[in-house]
Structure 1
Amino acid sequence: MAEATGYDLLLKGGRVICPSTGVDGVRDVAIKNGKVAAIEEAIIPSSAAEVINVAGKLVLPGLIDTHGHIYQYVTGRFGLDPDMVGVRSGVTTVVDQGGPSCMTLPGFRKFIAERSETNVLCFLSAYLVGGLEGHFYPNLYSPDGVDIEATTRSANANKDIVRGIKGHAEIGGFARWGIRVMEMAAEIARRVDLPLYVHFGQLWGLPESGANGEDADTILQRVIPLLKEGDVLAHPFTRHPGGFVNREGEVHHVIQAALDRGLKVDVGHGSHFSYRLARAALAAGVIPHTLGADMHGYNTQVPEIPVPAGTPEEHEDDENHPFKGQARFSLTQAMSSMMTLGLPLEQVVPMVTSNPAKMLGMSDTLGALAVGRSADVSVLDDVRGRFILRDNEDHRVVAERLLQPAFCLRAGKRFDADSPILPQAIAA
């Protein structure tokens, strides 16, 4: 046992990267009473009750996944166990994107946020029904399903866990209802003074471009003027119509102007990610600010929740729904994809630490390794070799560097990266 003045845990010899504090080098990190007690070039091992040798590993501020679907059961087959996505995948904070609504937020707080080992936050759905399986029941997402006053009240009363609003700008909704639902979502976000996170790319299937005179390639230029500084454009590398890259393979001209006036970009990997379109967007200067995994029950290859009684049988195997053909992935593998596309590690780490903390308005508590802060730490293996990564168009690339979670500390408590949804390395 260490003396009363000693540390509970010492992470020894890892490469510490903390964009917020500017640290990048081999350091020892000491933990005491669930907080970071010291970060130094060398700390005597005998000063700690437990020492973990992390030489050769990356020691990062606790990873923040900006795009999760963790309202388990309530959101049908979308919702995953929050700790499977979070601490058991090496991630200490997960933001549920649009699972809870003003109607269902109390249950999210009670049964998800309060019971999880992972630090759980959310972007509140602009829709009363929240993140149900909308590709089955799109009529739930019409303007009649939005209550600006009720959602505003709910968000304002729960800002400890509600850190933004979620809206959808996609061709299925536009062809049915036009831009009205996006106008309502933007109004909610303005009233509560929180960022609006906007899904781009087809989501609810038919109707497609051309229905009711709508063109997927015009959605971005119509939605962006509704948005304010700090709002988030999601899925820049989507393979679906209505994303950053139009049908001619060109990045929309409105994107750069949007970035110049303070809008942000979140990768939202999920079932949307395309290496082909990512290369086009990156070449045009679209560098993501944040990186969310967007894992859910349709794209993690774990046993699905049974289809509820009364659900039309064809929904089970609907070949038209947008989540078919996905590759298996994780937040750390999404980081690896960014590096394979040419972004250096030093540019990718802020996307999952300091940048999302700023997006959430929580830079004072999240996204940094600093003495006195809660000991949220992610330890990753930085594996060198040749590995095959596959996107959702079944395009394959060879990565020479693969980041894999080893374990994390959440408020000083250790969790091994043993989640069954983590992808396995495939040698090239």
Structure 2
Amino acid sequence: MTQVLLKGGRVIDPAAGLDATLDILVDEARIAAIGPDLAATAPIAEIVDCKDKLVLPGLIDTHAHVYQYVTGRFGLNPDLCGVRSGVTTLVDQGGPSCITIPGFRHFIAAPSKTRVLAFISAYIVGGLEGHYYPDLYRPECLDAAATVKAAQANSDLVKGVKAHAEIGGFARWGLDVMKIASQIGRDARLPVYIHFGQLWPKPEHGGLPVNPDSIFNQVVETLKPGDILAHPFSRHPGGFVEENGRLHPLVPEAIARGLKVDVGHGSHFSFKTARIVLDAGVVPDTLGADMHGYNTHLPAPAGTPDSHPDEEHSFLGRTQFSLVSAMTSMLALGLPLDQVVRMVTSNAARMIGMEGELGTLKVGGVADISVLDDRRGRWVLEDNEGTQIVTDRMLTPVLCVRDGVRYDANSPSLPLARAA
């Protein structure tokens, strides 16, 4: 029998309305007890001192890229982004497709210590090299029927559909790809996760004229309640903020119609854009890190490209980040801790259709728990535009318990805090 006692931490579970100093006893893969001073009831448990630390439901990263090797440089090792970064569940966004989902299950999801789920790619090639070759993503390279079949046959793994609505694609194909992706989501009865902002450079010759401010409203018209609009804080045009620097007027209407918003941090995250969106009253529902091989400093597999063709938009990130550091950025932007915790726990669980099973702490429930340091001081945060802000609060992962097993947060991908 393996028991772990997380002792004396600040336990926060927004789904349960819980915020108190408590112990959590883990017995094998389940939570056996939650309460004050449980040491006497568990004399054989490994005691983990969590004083002055946050003890949260296992963190869920809603935007990961972890189809390692198959997606070339793009796909990272899932456990580096997952349990070794204090995160118990990853949702790969668009790595596997209808023709590669069996490999994703066998080589990624099954052996990983982290729980790995996926939003299946709307494109038959999936996320090869981070969508390096735009011509592979044209309308003729989608197979709606095959993608629906693959999603339904792998419903334990596939929790949604991934597609892109961005300037380079619109200059090539207009709205055609989005129409097919939206139909896949309807037929599979799954949410569609939409990337907004630049991904591919515009075609060198020809191409359709594109008004970046027209993309958002065209795409929203194709979507259904529960679909997810990603990258609201992107510095690229074609998304939540118009070229005039104001929130796109249809964003509030889209949210009122039941569409959801995921931060999808990534290397295109902008503090300036975030300020515009938040000041307009738009608060994202969920928070994904969007780490991948082009915006981290981890070694790349031999033979993969040195950079992405979208070079002018700094796809190669100079600032390291993680899901927990993205939580720090949300706090620095003024979001309350309870809201930020919801984004990576209960709201994320709802997004993937696992509300009540993940994203909460309950006796008898799965023992997925994240423990974070919550320090006070002065640190510099920087985005890839070079904008710097100073924060007085820094969250860093310490460890997590995934399915009852403890993992220390020792990933080489974790960023180092910069003192102000």
**TM-score (norm: length of structure 1):** 0.95
The equivalent residue for 1:289 is: 285
Displacement after TM superposition at 1:266 (Å): 0.2
**Partner of residue 350, structure 1:** 342
Match of 1:422 among 387, 392, 414: 414
More moved, 124-133 vs 319-328:
319-328
Q: How far apart, in 1, do the equivalents of 2:251 and 2:277 lie?
A: 10
The separation in 2 between residues aligned to 1:165 and 1:56, in whole angstroms, is: 39
- 1:39 counterpart letter in structure 2: I
| Structure 1 residue 325 displacement after superposition | 4.3
Task: Answer yes or no: is the 8 Å Cα contact 2:329–2:381 preserved in 1.
Answer: yes
1:266-285 equivalences in 2 (<5 Å)? 266-285=262-281
* Number of residue pairs aligned between Structure 1 and Structure 2: 418
Paired amino acid for 1:364:
G
**Equivalent residues in 2 for 1:229-308 (5 A)?**
229-308=225-304
Contact 1:134 1:141 in 2 (8 A): no
CA distance in structure 2 between the partners assigned to 1:134 and 1:290 by the alignment: 22
Contact 1:45–1:51 under 8 Å retained in 2: no
TM-score between both structures, scaled by the size of structure 2:
0.97
Within 5 Å, give how 1:326-345 maps onto structure 2: 326-345=318-337
Match of 2:34 among 31, 36, 39: 39
Give secondary structure in 1 for the equivalent of 2:312.
Answer: coil
Paired position in structure 2 for 1:91: 87
Over residues 157-186 of structure 1, what are the superposed CA-to-partner deviations in whole Å (9 max), with x where a residue is unaligned?
101000000010001000000100000000
TM-superposed CA distance for 1:135, in Å, is: 5.0
Distance 1:413 1:25 in 2: 24
Range moving further from structure 2, 344-353 or 129-138: 129-138
The C-alpha deviation readout for 1:286-325, integer Å capped at 9, x for no partner, is 10100000000111111122234xx7xx867873365034
Q: Measure how far apart 1:152 and its partner are.
A: 0.6
Which portions of structure 1, spanning 4 or more consecutive aligned residues, are displaced by more than 2 angstroms?
133-136, 314-322
Gaps of 5+ in 2: none
2:165 aligned with 1:147: no
Structure 1's 146 and 42: CA in aligned 2 closer, same or farther, altered over 3 A? same
Q: What SS does the corresponding residue of 2:129 show, helix, strand or coil? A: coil
Cα deviation digits, residues 381-413 of structure 1 (max 9, x gap): 001100011111011111100100000000110
1:206 Cα deviation (Å)?
2.2
Instruction: Let me know the Cα RMSD of the aligned residues.
Output: 1.6
CA–CA separation in structure 2 for the residues paired with 1:197 and 1:390: 27
Written as runs of structure 1 = structure 2, the 5 A alignment for 1:154-173 is 154-173=150-169
Alpha-carbon separation, structure 2, partners of 1:204 and 1:319: 10
Cα pair distance change 1:215/1:64, threshold 3 Å = same
Matched, 1:116 2:112: yes
What residue in structure 2 maps to residue 389 of structure 1? 381
- Partners in 1 of 2:290 and 2:329 — Cα distance? 14
Assess if the C-alpha contact under 8 Å between 2:200 and 2:310 holds in 1: no
Please say if residues 237 and 275 of structure 1, whose CA atoms lie closer than 8 Å, have aligned partners that are also in contact. Answer: yes
Structure 1 stretches lacking a partner, 5+ long? none
2:364 to 361, 369, 372: 372
1:131 aligns with 2:137: no
Give 1:365 shift.
1.5
